[in-house]
Amino acid sequence: MGTVIVGTIVVAIVALAVASMIRDKKNGKSIQCGGDCSSCKGCH
């Protein structure tokens, strides 16, 4: 029973993280580019 509860919690955390990443991507944010061009070292 404990394994099922812990597994459910882990799945919920992963789902929230993925939803947050999708939301950020739709808003123009990403992991690679924070939108601060002054700190960019010529990545593009």
- pLDDT, tens digit only, all 44 positions of the chain: 999 999 999 999 999 999 998 888 777 666 666 566 666 665 55
Q: What is the pLDDT of residue 17?
A: 94
Q: Residue 14 carries which side chain, given as an amino acid letter?
A: V
Q: What is the pLDDT of residue 24?
A: 80
Predicted TM-score of the model (pTM):
0.60
Greatest Cα-to-Cα distance within the chain, rounded to the nearest angstrom = 52
Q: Which residues contact 21 (CB under 8 A, 6 or more apart)?
A: 31
Q: What is the pLDDT of residue 31?
A: 62
